[in-house]
């Protein structure tokens, strides 16, 4: 066995080469971690999404139209509603009818979402089973 010892004693030299071995080791470990976790992260729940059907609603005499104006005023057909209790009383009465009338919500394009959301929540609370939205067809140019 032979050992080579340099006897220059000049240990003050700066090594300018970067040791990339630890960097490569860390990158390989990260690559393995990502390869293992990506299939878990992309797993989705299987659901059956509803199909888009754009069929015009038939306006029947018993149907109720709830309208929300731009200033947030709520209307039951052509009658303005005074408060939430008035709305709930009318919705409870409509929900007890057999068959239930179709509730159609017409919201102004510049109305806030909050009054429309409150109408939907009130319909759900009253037990109304069918709520539709009235929209306009886009203009063809």
Is there a domain that residue 116 lies in? yes
Q: Could you tell me if residue 83 is left (phi over 0), alpha (psi between -120 and 50 degrees) or otherwise beta?
A: beta
pLDDT for the residue 141: 56
Confidence label for 122 from pLDDT (cuts 50, 70 and 90): very high
Using pLDDT thresholds of 50, 70 and 90, give the confidence band for residue 8.
Answer: low
In a domain, 99, yes or no: yes
**pLDDT confidence of residue 110:** 85
Is residue 137's pLDDT more than 60? yes
Domain boundaries, position 101: 64-133
User: Given a cut of 60, is residue 14 above it in pLDDT?
Assistant: yes
Asked if residue 49 has pLDDT above 80, the reply is no
Q: Is residue 88 part of a domain?
A: yes
More confidently predicted of 39 and 109? 109
Q: Has residue 72 been placed in a domain? A: yes
Task: Describe the crossing of helices 113-126 and 84-96 by its angle, rounded to 10 degrees.
Answer: 40
| Of 102, 14, 121, residue with least CA distance to 59 | 102
Q: How confident is the model at residue 108 (pLDDT cuts 50, 70, 90)?
A: confident
Task: Give the tokens for residue 48.
Answer: 């059956």
In a domain, 79, yes or no: yes
Specify the number of domains making up the chain. Answer: 1
Report if residue 4 sits inside a domain: no
CATH of the domain at 98: 3.30.420.270
Is residue 73, in this structure, part of any structural domain at all?
yes
Query: Residue 112 falls within a domain, yes or no?
Result: yes
């Amino acid at each position: 066995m032979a050992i080579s010892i340099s006897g220059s004693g000049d240990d003050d030299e700066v090594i300018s080469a970067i040791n990339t071995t630890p960097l490569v080791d860390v990158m390989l470990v990260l690559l393995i971690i990502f390869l293992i976790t990506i299939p878990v992260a992309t797993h989705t729940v299987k659901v059956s999404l509803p199909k888009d059907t754009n069929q015009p609603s038939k306006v029947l005499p018993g149907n109720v139209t709830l309208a929300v104006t731009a200033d947030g005023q709520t209307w039951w057909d052509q009658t303005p509603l005074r408060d939430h209790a008035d709305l709930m009383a009318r919705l409870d009465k409509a929900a007890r009818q057999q068959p239930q009338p179709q509730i159609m919500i017409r919201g102004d394009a510049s109305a806030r979402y909050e009054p429309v959301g409150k109408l939907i929540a009130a319909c759900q609370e009253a037990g109304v089973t069918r709520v539709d939205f009235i929209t306009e067809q886009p203009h063809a140019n």
